[in-house]
Structure 1
Amino acid sequence: MCGIYASNLIIKGVNGRPRIDAAGKNSMGKAIWVVVGNNVIIDNVEMYGAKVRDLNGAALRLEGTGFTLRNSFLHDNENGILSGANAASDIVIEGTEFGRNGYGTGQTHNLYIGKVRSLMFRGNFSHDAHVGHNLKSRAQTNYILYNRFSSLRPGETGSTAAGQPSYEIDLPNAGTSYVIGNVIQQPAANQNGAMLAYGEEGASNTGHDLYVVNNTFLNDDTARGVFVMVGSGVTKPVLLQNNIFSGIGTLSTQVSTVAKTNYRSVAPGFVNRAAYDLRPTASPLVVDAGTAPGVSATGYVLKPVAQYKHVAKSFARPVSGALDIGAYESTSTAP
């Protein structure tokens, strides 16, 4: 347990992945590692067991400007990552697994990113948050690309104990946000029927642009569900394009939502749903049925270029004919 004060520092596990068991201890009453320095990179570590007196102990507490985490596993902490507000900070998280973080109050999460300039969250696996969210971000701009948000089914064995998350993705203050190429699954046992929440705590961020493109949504709750919940303060129409929506539920709570070439079904055809091989089976309603999503209002290309690969990786999305609907091309190899 320590504070990291140096800037432009790289901390990397070699010859295997180091396992850091906090065993209920912490640094500064905050976290296992408190990152105070700027532009710190952490690569290939496993961190667990953080506890503090106020019940929000994190594996990593971010207090500097600029941070990158790669190829790591953060689990069974009161928070996985907890960052402060810093309008000059850009956070990058890639190839990392988050599981079973949260104290159980609903105020602690697998990740809680404060009001920073941007979050790049790419090729990660976030699952089984304990009552809280699998990802909560107040960033001004969010790039949520090619991840898997899903939790254990009853009786399923995984890398952590099962949890009952609330939202899979929570962007409470809106912001310009790109949700592209993800697997977003709500387990049958959960704390909230909404899967992706946007601006529900007040759309105080400058941008109110939400682009939800080529994702595969899976709702395993047979009693309720909201795929995209949009706060009343968001007046700009949300774009939902080329998504698969599996299971029951309201598509969007925003009346003005623009929905284009999506596929809705209680049970869509996948190669092997139980094994999370979510490539679509042959169907003219899905295969080659997508439309070109173009670019965002600021010129960001919305077409997916990669796909999630388990565990916590991504690989190039193949190009074969027109774009398939969902997070995977039917012609790709097993994820």
Structure 2
Amino acid sequence: MLAKQRPQPPVRPVGLIAVWLAVFALLTAGLPRPGLAATLEVGAGKPYPMPSAAAAAAHDGDHINIAAGSYFDCAVWRANDLTIRGAAADTTVITDKTCQGKGLFITYGNNIKISDLTLTRARVADFNGAGLRAEGGNLTLERVRFVNDQDGLLAAPAPGKSIIIRDSLFLHNGTCEGGGGCAHDIYVNEIGLLRLEHTRFFETRSGHHIKSLAHQTEVIGCDLADGPNGSSSYVVDVPHGGGVLLRDNHIEKGPKSENHSSALIIGEDGVSQPTPEIVVEHNTFLVDGDYNSYLVNNMTATEAQLKGNTLQGNAKALRGDGVVH
């Protein structure tokens, strides 16, 4: 007896399916896809002509490459885990236009990395315009230039989060024109860690080079100088206390500095967070003006530890509790 044969499945038009798959791939190439990281190209003749267009399309984990050029634009980055990269710090320039009355770039997402571009000429009505306004957490900057902004970087509270800046430049930022407080090169509110490495601050205007309300503030291998024309107040201001590490920096207060008292001041607004340590070591501090100034003005009960610092001009070591080695 012959076995019954199973019905065979219909023959599919393989060629037609392949054609449709190819067309779909072409139509979706370069577009961000939820759940899959994409690379978004920005610039003249690119899929996204301006950074703001890429920011609106970006999904978590995407990479954004911004070609060389000057962009009259601002961008609001809401996705997480973004990598935003220019062609080079001196050739990719975001300038003049601010978003939400805050800044040129605004980062709401977490774990964002930005490198190789310039953020310049940020202005807003309340004199607080930032090159970069950080509203999320865990931000890393490398080879980013902040030039002629009211605030260079202004960061909102993000408890337990970090901001790390390496190999960057803050030039001609700051203002005290608003009447409601000054703008600075860097002003971070309550975050876990502010860490600056191998970064230059030069000719800050009226405000501080660095104002930090972080629980831990670290400045390592940086050049912080007024030069002949800078009018900065403090070099590093840690007004509410917190751990501090200053190591291997070159610090200069110039003849036009608007605050002669000290380079680093800690706790002048009252200590409202733990200050486990104040370590200031192997720095060079030059006072290039007809006044005396302290390297450290410590207004906390934590003893500052000063070691191996070089004092030049009218520089003094320490005012307040601490030990000088």
Same fold at TM > 0.5: yes
String of CA shifts for 1:50-103, please: whole Å, max 9, x gaps. 111111000000001110011111010110000011112111000000011112
Give the equivalent residue in structure 2 for 1:130: 205
Distance 1:46 1:248, change over 3 A: same
Shift of 1:177: 1.1
When Rg is computed on C-alpha atoms for both structures, the one with the higher figure is 2
Mapped to 2, the partners of 1:249 and 1:219 lie a distance apart of 5
Q: Does 1:241 align with 2:307?
A: yes
Mapped to 2, the partners of 1:230 and 1:15 lie a distance apart of 40
Secondary structure (helix, strand or coil) at the match of 1:72 reads: strand
Secondary structure (helix, strand or coil) at the match of 1:133 reads: coil
Distance 1:83 1:185, change over 3 A: same
Mapped to 2, the partners of 1:47 and 1:127 lie a distance apart of 16
What is the aligned-residue identity percentage?
A: 26
Give the equivalent residue in structure 2 for 1:85: 157
String of CA shifts for 1:185-210, please: whole Å, max 9, x gaps. 11111010121111112121212410
Q: Does 1:108 align with 2:180?
A: no
In the superposition, the TM-score normalised over structure 1's length comes to 0.71
Mapped to 2, the partners of 1:21 and 1:88 lie a distance apart of 30
The answer to whether the 8 Å contact 1:174/1:208 transfers is no
Give the equivalent residue in structure 2 for 1:287: none
In the superposition, the TM-score normalised over structure 2's length comes to 0.73
Paired residues, what number? Answer: 248
String of CA shifts for 1:38-60, please: whole Å, max 9, x gaps. 00000011111111111100000
String of CA shifts for 1:230-257, please: whole Å, max 9, x gaps. 12xx112110111011122442220x31
The answer to whether the 8 Å contact 2:92/2:116 transfers is no
Q: Does 1:66 align with 2:138?
A: yes
Mapped to 2, the partners of 1:217 and 1:121 lie a distance apart of 18
Give the equivalent residue in structure 2 for 1:95: 167
Q: Does 1:182 align with 2:254?
A: no
**Alignment of structure 1 residues 1-335 onto 2, 5 Å:** 1-14=74-87, 17-23=90-96, 25-105=97-177, 107-153=182-228, 162-193=229-260, 194-231=262-299, 234-254=300-320, 256-260=321-325
String of CA shifts for 1:236-294, please: whole Å, max 9, x gaps. 2110111011122442220x31111xxxxxxxxxxxxxxxxxxxxxxxxxxxxxxxxxx
Which has more helix, going by share of residues?
2
Alignment root-mean-square deviation, CA: 1.5
The answer to whether the 8 Å contact 1:174/1:199 transfers is yes
User: What stretches of structure 1 of length at least 5 have no aligned partner?
Assistant: 154-161, 261-335
Q: Which has the higher contact order (CA 8 A, sep 6+)?
A: 1
Distance 1:174 1:50, change over 3 A: same
Give the equivalent residue in structure 2 for 1:306: none
Mapped to 1, the partners of 2:88 and 2:135 lie a distance apart of 29
Distance 1:78 1:204, change over 3 A: same
Mapped to 2, the partners of 1:152 and 1:228 lie a distance apart of 20
Secondary structure (helix, strand or coil) at the match of 1:45 reads: strand
User: What stretches of structure 2 of length at least 5 have no aligned partner?
Assistant: 1-73
* AA in 2 matched with 1:259: V
Mapped to 1, the partners of 2:232 and 2:175 lie a distance apart of 12
